[in-house]
Chain A
């Protein structure tokens, strides 16, 4: 495993924390040169420093900022980026009757449009450089697969279901360039985004009854799946969305 990413250049959006940072760290451990793309300059710089990576700043909703950041990352890493992990995302809870259009648009713009914009810049870079091959891994969610009335977030769920459709289209359109595109669907993962354990008793009951493995997942466990899908180990895998959820979606 060590060294599986030698000579690979990776861009991880949302890489300053949570699953994104765990992924950036794992890719560095396995030999990749990594750029973290995130929104806050200071936080992004600090996170990049902890993994010996490059920091680039952009709001993933903004096409011009994304293009500039992707170009800066490729320049800093010494060539076109061939691993793109779209981990930038936000989670919001609001019922359908209370949810407002602005909240809806914000979630869709960051989670869905942002994934497209970042991957588009990366693949444009590969095509322009005449490089064949590359791997995109998008972060979807089990929320794309199953609804949850106790933690309602139709905008979030729709954005993550959109990410799966986007992933399949990337797989179909970019296969001729040798670019693979896959998605991961994390379940309840122990990050700052997690709301399940806000009520520890109800949270533990959920883990006991709804999660076959009976526990939260760790960001490193999601990162391990992302690294597998991005690696040559998965060279015949494209267009799939793989849950990493302790078995939640088996029920």
Chain B
């Protein structure tokens, strides 16, 4: 007696192939944008640094017929975000997916040594920025009425705390709950929202952390890096392609019944 229940699995999927990736000038965001383009997506790369235009031009050169555009915008600024999303819609002819990747690491300081300005800056970029871009993109998706997918980048540090990571952990835990709330609000409109939570990634943000760790441990960079590596059950740092694989899957129709979740891509450091 289930004949009246929709069997259309695409109802929860993504029909089109136009995406915004924030924080895409380099690192994980660039890897994600590159992967989506390889999968046939048209992509607007957004970043606060001008370099995003060069990155977009480079990816466009290798893309077969894909529209690729770089847009400079600060995700923590409401007017920047509105302008960037409007521009992306103009260039791509609409939107089907958002990858909220823009983020900063912040200083590795204990709470008692953290200034209000430093704490707020991390929250502003990582959490408020994710909210602003998600709000702008969700508004477009709802107006289109054709469903969609949003993937927010959380972190292993949003799943468990660590000394010196108060602002970053709080921002990323906030992202995971923002995801759940968006999933509930947008689910009835066939818009899926999920979080990918990277672990120790081979990115400049992580190497900054390793440099701080080396100083704390009184050892060299390589020793500190190997110390981190030994803590990962799979025995290596993650790379951009690891994150891109999870994101590409979550925005695809293969993930059509997955929403509101946090998927850890961390080599087994946090088993969740």
Which of A190, A207, A216, A235 counts the most chain B CB atoms within 10 A?
A235
Known pairs A197-B5, A250-B180; A238 contacts B233 (CB<8 A): yes
User: Which residues between 222 and 241 of chain A lie within 8 Å of chain B, taking CB atoms?
Assistant: 222, 224-225, 227-228, 232-241
How far, in angstroms, from A207 to B1 measured CA to CA in the complex? 14
A245 CB-CB contact with B under 8 Å:
yes
Q: Which chain A residues lie closer than 8 Å to B6 at the CB level?
A: 215
Q: Is the interface of B mostly helix, strand, loop or mixed?
A: loop
How far, in angstroms, from A7 to B236 measured CA to CA in the complex? 25
Known pairs A246-B12, A249-B260; A238 contacts B268 (CB<8 A): yes
Known pairs A175-B234, A213-B11, A225-B255; A239 contacts B261 (CB<8 A): no
| Contact B260–A215 (Cβ < 8 Å) | no
Q: Which chain A residues lie closer than 8 Å to B271 at the CB level?
A: 167-168, 171-172, 238-240
| Contact A236–B238 (Cβ < 8 Å) | yes
| Contact A233–B256 (Cβ < 8 Å) | no
How far, in angstroms, from A244 to B12 measured CA to CA in the complex? 12
A217 CB-CB contact with B under 8 Å:
yes
How far, in angstroms, from A251 to B259 measured CA to CA in the complex? 11
Q: How many A-B residue pairs have CB under 8 A?
A: 152
| Contact A213–B249 (Cβ < 8 Å) | no
> What is the minimal beta-carbon distance from B254 to any residue of chain A, in angstroms?
4
Chain A binder among B14-22, B85-93, B100-108, B240-248: B240-248
Q: Which chain A residues lie closer than 8 Å to B267 at the CB level?
A: 175, 236, 238
| Contact A190–B261 (Cβ < 8 Å) | no
> What is the minimal beta-carbon distance from B187 to any residue of chain A, in angstroms?
3
B184 CB-CB contact with A under 8 Å:
yes
Q: Which chain A residues lie closer than 8 Å to B239 at the CB level?
A: 236
How far, in angstroms, from A80 to B199 measured CA to CA in the complex? 31
**Chain A count of residues within 8 A CB distance of the other chain:** 52
How far, in angstroms, from A116 to B152 measured CA to CA in the complex? 34
Q: Which chain A residues lie closer than 8 Å to B256 at the CB level?
A: 221, 224
| Contact A236–B265 (Cβ < 8 Å) | yes
| Contact B4–A237 (Cβ < 8 Å) | no
Q: Which chain B residues lie closer than 8 Å to A172 at the CB level?
A: 233, 268, 271
B64 CB-CB contact with A under 8 Å:
no
User: Which residues between 198 and 215 of chain B lie within 8 Å of chain A, taking CB atoms?
Assistant: 199
B258 CB-CB contact with A under 8 Å:
yes
| Contact B183–A228 (Cβ < 8 Å) | no
Known pairs A190-B5, A228-B254; A214 contacts B245 (CB<8 A): no
Known pairs A237-B246, A246-B12; A212 contacts B5 (CB<8 A): no
How far, in angstroms, from A228 to B255 measured CA to CA in the complex? 9
Residue ID in chain B nearest A207 by CB atoms = B5
How far, in angstroms, from A247 to B191 measured CA to CA in the complex? 11
Q: Which chain B residues lie closer than 8 Å to A211 at the CB level?
A: 187
How far, in angstroms, from A243 to B179 measured CA to CA in the complex? 14
Q: Which chain A residues lie closer than 8 Å to B263 at the CB level?
A: 237, 240, 242
How far, in angstroms, from A243 to B245 measured CA to CA in the complex? 18
| Contact A234–B187 (Cβ < 8 Å) | no
Q: Which chain A residues lie closer than 8 Å to B130 at the CB level?
A: none
A8 CB-CB contact with B under 8 Å:
no
How far, in angstroms, from A190 to B257 measured CA to CA in the complex? 12
B48-91 vs A, CB cutoff 8 Å, 1 = contact: the mask equals 00000000000000000000000000000000000000000000
> What is the minimal beta-carbon distance from A167 to any residue of chain B, in angstroms?
8
How far, in angstroms, from A225 to B259 measured CA to CA in the complex? 12
A72 CB-CB contact with B under 8 Å:
no
A128 CB-CB contact with B under 8 Å:
no
| Contact B187–A247 (Cβ < 8 Å) | yes
Q: Which chain B residues lie closer than 8 Å to A218 at the CB level?
A: 7, 9, 257
| Contact B260–A247 (Cβ < 8 Å) | yes
How far, in angstroms, from A197 to B2 measured CA to CA in the complex? 6
> What is the minimal beta-carbon distance from A42 to any residue of chain B, in angstroms?
27
Residue ID in chain B nearest A167 by CB atoms = B271
Which of B1, B183, B234, B255 counts the most chain A CB atoms within 10 A?
B234
> What is the minimal beta-carbon distance from B128 to any residue of chain A, in angstroms?
21
Known pairs A236-B242, A237-B265; A224 contacts B255 (CB<8 A): yes
> What is the minimal beta-carbon distance from A19 to any residue of chain B, in angstroms?
12
Q: CB within 8 A of B5: which of A1, A168, A216, A244? A: A216
6 contacts between A and B (CB under 8 A): A233-B248, A236-B238, A239-B264, A246-B12, A246-B257, A247-B192
State the B residues within 8 Å of A (CB).
Answer: 1-2, 4-7, 9, 11-12, 180, 183-184, 187-188, 190, 192, 199, 233-236, 238-239, 242, 245-246, 248-249, 254-261, 263-268, 270-272
